[in-house]
């Protein structure tokens, strides 16, 4: 999985949190992943199994150990696949 070490705190009402949690659950995502996708411009919907994204994360990890130009190409391909799977723009 990608290393995420920076947090963002957002204050919401109880009602807003319930709605966001419900929307995330409907998409089969954690609340954090749902909010991350929405913030990055994706419209989460029905998604492939988590294992598909685990494989893409593993590809990202392998790309980091490649030469910079090859790693960038691999990462771009993984990102394109990820965008197609989650309906990105």
> What's the average model confidence in pLDDT over 17-40?
89
> In the prediction, which pLDDT does 89 show?
46
Indicate yes or no: pTM above 0.85.
no
- Dihedral, CA of residue 44, residue 16, residue 11 and residue 50, to nearest 10: -30
The per-residue DSSP string of 22-86 comes to HHHHHHT--HHHHHHHHHTT----S---HHHHHHHHHHHHHHHTS-HHHHHHHHHHHHHHHHHHH
d(CA 77, CA 10): 32
């Amino acid at each position: 999985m990608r290393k995420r070490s920076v947090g963002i705190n957002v204050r919401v009402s109880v009602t807003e949190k319930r709605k966001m949690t419900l929307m995330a659950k409907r998409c089969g995502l954690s609340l954090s992943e749902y909010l991350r996708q929405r913030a990055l411009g994706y419209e989460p919907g029905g998604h492939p199994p988590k294992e598909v994204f685990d494989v893409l994360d593993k590809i990202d990890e392998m790309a980091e150990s490649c030469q910079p130009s090859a790693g960038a190409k691999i990462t771009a391909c993984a990102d394109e696949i990820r965008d197609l799977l989650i309906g990105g723009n």
